Amino acid sequence: MMDFFKTLLLLLKRWYIALPVFAVTIGAAGGAYVAIPLHYESVGTMVLTSPAGGATSVTDKVPGQTNPLLAFETSLTISAAIVIQSINTPEVVKSLGGDSPDHKFVLTGGGDGGPFITVKTESASEPGARELAVKVLDRVKAELAKRQQALNAPPSTFIGVDDVVPPTKPEPLRGGKVRGAAVALVLGLIASLTVVYFLETRKERKRLKENPDEDDLDGYDDLDDVDDRAEPSRPAPRDPEPPRQTLPPVTRTPQPLGQSSSERTQMLRPAQVEPGNKSNPNGRPANGAPKPPATGTKSGQLTPPAPGSALNRRPGQGNRSPEEYREPPTVRVKPAQAPQEPRG
């Protein structure tokens, strides 16, 4: 299978050689079909019949005479075979004009075929095929009558001949022309492959002669897209990257607040309430008096919570405020048992 694909690839590669040779091949096949003459065929069949009065004469001058050709059980079949053998001799065939390849006949019958005699003629002309068939059948009748007369058989006991199929209308035989064209086509294809391989081998030898170090088996590697025996390609060396420049650290300076109220707004922590002190949502005491700021703090800033206050503790069970609701502990009570009745 691989050889077939290699051959196909080689033909595709050398298409400029294979295509003209193939065109010449097609032309040669067409020329052979036209050059071979068309033959015609005609067929005729006859049968031998026994005389009506039998093999022995009764009405002749000398009664009691018999026909020797009818003395056998299969006399008609034997008589047909005798006539066929006598006509198929080279002398008779030549006299009938059937010794030429363009004008010949085949006479068969007798034996297992019974008393039938069939003639098949072939000629380069349509009328010649029919005329040859008629001539051969007439010669069969004449040969049979001649042999019976030579045996002094009574005329009343002569074997009769009847035409079963008269010579048919000649039919054209195109098989010979088709076979000739097919042979020319096959020979042309072989010639095309031979020419392509010859030129490819010649080119390969020339290449190896110029470069003797190359492997002899690489002659058809150019047909493949990738050479299987080639070494894997190595990556090209990369140029060294230039050293990166170290940038000086960037110092960020605080930007001054803008003039708008939104730019001057600062994030403030919500006010915290000491335990035991109730305050309004705005962080003021319940009595309405503002709480004085602690010492060392600026106005608007919150004082840090006390270290021991509940606000510095992590949320948990022990960090609940006094105001948070606490669920009373659950007490488990063992159910009372009924007094047992005394067993009586």
- Exposed, middle or buried: residue 264 (CB in 10 Å: 0-12, 13-18, 19+)? exposed
**Domains, the chain, with CATH or none:** 2-34+175-212 (no CATH), 39-173 (3.30.70.600)
Provide the token pair at 43.
Answer: 């067929």
DSSP conformational letter for 284: -
* Tokens encoding 1: 């299978």
| Apex 94 CA angle, 46 and 89, nearest 5 | 65
Each residue's pLDDT tens digit, 87-106: 999 999 999 988 888 899 99
pLDDT score, position 251:
67
Query: Residue 296: its pLDDT value, please?
Result: 47
Q: How far apart are CA 33 and CA 264, in angstroms?
A: 109
Give me the pLDDT at residue 195, please: 79
For the stretch 285-327, pLDDT in tens is 444 444 554 444 444 445 555 555 544 555 555 555 555 556 6
Spans of the chain below 70 pLDDT:
1-4, 7, 55, 57-64, 111, 212-237, 239-240, 247-248, 250-329, 331, 333-344
Q: Which two tokens mark 236?
A: 């090209």
CA distance 265 to 145: 148
Quote the pLDDT of residue 1. Answer: 59
85: nearest Cα among 117, 127, 124, 39: 117
Question: Which pLDDT score, from 0 to 100, does residue 236 have?
Answer: 66
Q: Which pTM does this prediction carry?
A: 0.49
